[in-house]
Amino acid sequence: MAQKSKFDDVVSRLKEDDILTDKQLEYLDEKLKEKEKWAKCENLSVFVIGVSTTSQIESMHSVLREELNSNSRLREVLHVFKEIEKTETTKFQQEFTRHKKNLNKDLITSPLIKLLKISRLLISLKNLNKLFPKA
């Protein structure tokens, strides 16, 4: 939630500080209507398999450029790819864990799940009444 409030603060400052022209404000307002599609703080519960933007690809290219050159041996290339794979796997696992926690939270608070639990309880009570009728 801290990311969302930071995002909202930045947007508020942009709108209030006379930084943007009317046309820019209009553009910003249009983009904010769909912020759940592009603002990371708005879609933390969405499972995106670790992919958020093309900057991730640019980041990998940057690592490759830093670590390798045209004289790099195959062993070095494989080592760099293995390190990138390890990093990406870790990011994926972290996102999957976060998504799983959000999913479990949603299930616990789901009105449908609560209704099903109550229904199951009522059916169990009805079956108990059949097994042990009142004397």
> How open is the CA angle 86-60-2, to the nearest 5 degrees?
80
Q: How many residues does the chain have?
A: 135
pLDDT digits (tens, 9 = 90+) for 89-132: 888 788 777 777 766 666 667 677 777 778 888 888 887 888 78
pTM value > 0.75: no
- What is residue 107's predicted lDDT score, i.e. its pLDDT? 64
Alpha carbon distance, N-terminus to C-terminus of the chain: 57
What are the sequence ranges of the domains in the chain? 1-44, 48-135
Can you read off the two tokens belonging to residue 46? Answer: 């969405």
Q: CA-CA distances (angstroms) from residue 53 to 23, 50, 77, 80, 127?
A: 26, 9, 25, 22, 55
Alpha-carbon distance of 7 to 26, in angstroms, equals 18
